[in-house]
Amino acid sequence: MDETVNSSILYHYTDAVGLAGIVNPSSWPVKYESNELAYGTAAKLWASDVRYMNDSSELKFGAEVFREQFRSASADPAVNTELREVFGKLASWFDPDRLFEWGLRCFATCLCEKGNLLSQWRGYAGGVGGYAVGFSWESIALNTWAFHPETTAMGTGTVPATLRRVVYGEDEATKAAIQFVQGVVSGSGFLVSGPDGKLDMFMLAASAFREIAAVKDPAFEQEHEWRLTTEGDVKYPANLRAGRSGLVPYLELAVNLGANSDAQPHRTIAELVVGPGPNQLAQVAAARELLRNHGHDPDVVVPSDIPFRG
């Protein structure tokens, strides 16, 4: 999958409460010897368990396509016996009708290539007065870390988050599934071996889950979405928050962890677009003050040019 993008910025749409939490986190789950040095101007995002995101049919779409390719590989005489058994296990594991029995989790936060889409303002930023937080490519793609509670002897562990461009439609999903299968068969491109050099089924399934979570029905193509993902074992706890349809498990992410003027030359927030609304000019001024107060460049704040119709 091509992991390049024309823009050097990826945007996260949110409302005022979300923006405040992203720019000015009340706390971080891991305390470093020098928190100020470690976090600098890092921003906090929440990555939700993808099984709880919107309509679960979103995830089932990818699971069905990948499962079909796993089944084909499990019956392919050109694939060695051991891997045929492995693909059979993957086909059984990713049953789209048993999402909550998969035995592992994938957490994701959504980003967009475009910072001024009316559909995104309506869907993710409250419709009026929202914000599109534009993260620099370097900070979001190269230096974002997920906090996994209780995964180490000392408590919460940090794992690099993985950025994936979402592909849309059955044809593109099938291409992604075939590429995954071919990568496993050839032994290239996928981390599937444990410390003993033998195939690690959990790591392979986690890699598959990451790819499944990055394919969607073509109806969502106008979202131009990318996803930051991190995988985890269900035996470890997750944080819980109230969502539109009930409780949602999630993990916290630090964007640009370790940022400071000496060690990290890339700024965290490259642009902040204030959405259409009746108080847009006031919100531009307030957003600039928020960024200035927390070490970010206030001049990156700009108003959306989409007309507001109250």
What is the three-state SS of the chain?
Answer: CCCCCCCCEEEEEECHHHHHHHHCCCCCCCCCCCHHHHHCCCEEEEEEEHHHCCCCHHHHHHHHHHHHHHHHHHCCCCCCHHHHHHHHHHHHHCCCCCHHHCCEEEEEEEEECCCCCHHHHHHHCCCCCCEEEEEEHHHHHHCEEEEEEEEECCEEEEEECEEEECEECHHHHHHHHHHHHHHHHHCCCCCCECCCCCECHHHHHHHHHHHHCCEECHHHHHHCEEEEEEEEECCCCCEEEEECCEEEEEEEEEECCCCCCCCCCCCCEEEEEECCCCCHHHHHHHHHHHHHHCCCCHHHEEECCCCCCC
Q: Which domain holds residue 185?
A: 9-303
Has residue 310 been placed in a domain? no
pLDDT, residue 4, reads: 45
Has residue 108 been placed in a domain? yes
Average pLDDT, integer, range 63-91: 95
Has residue 121 been placed in a domain? yes
Under the banding of pLDDT at 50, 70 and 90, the label for residue 2 is very low
Has residue 308 been placed in a domain? no
Has residue 4 been placed in a domain? no
Has residue 284 been placed in a domain? yes
Specify the higher pLDDT residue, 277 or 124: 277
pLDDT, residue 44, reads: 97
Has residue 117 been placed in a domain? yes
Counted domains in the chain: 1
Has residue 309 been placed in a domain? no
Q: Is the pTM here over 0.75, yes or no?
A: yes
Under the banding of pLDDT at 50, 70 and 90, the label for residue 53 is confident
Per-residue pLDDT of 259-296, as tens digits, reads 544 555 578 999 999 999 989 999 999 999 999 999 99
Per-residue pLDDT of 57-66, as tens digits, reads 779 999 999 9
Average pLDDT, integer, range 182-193: 72
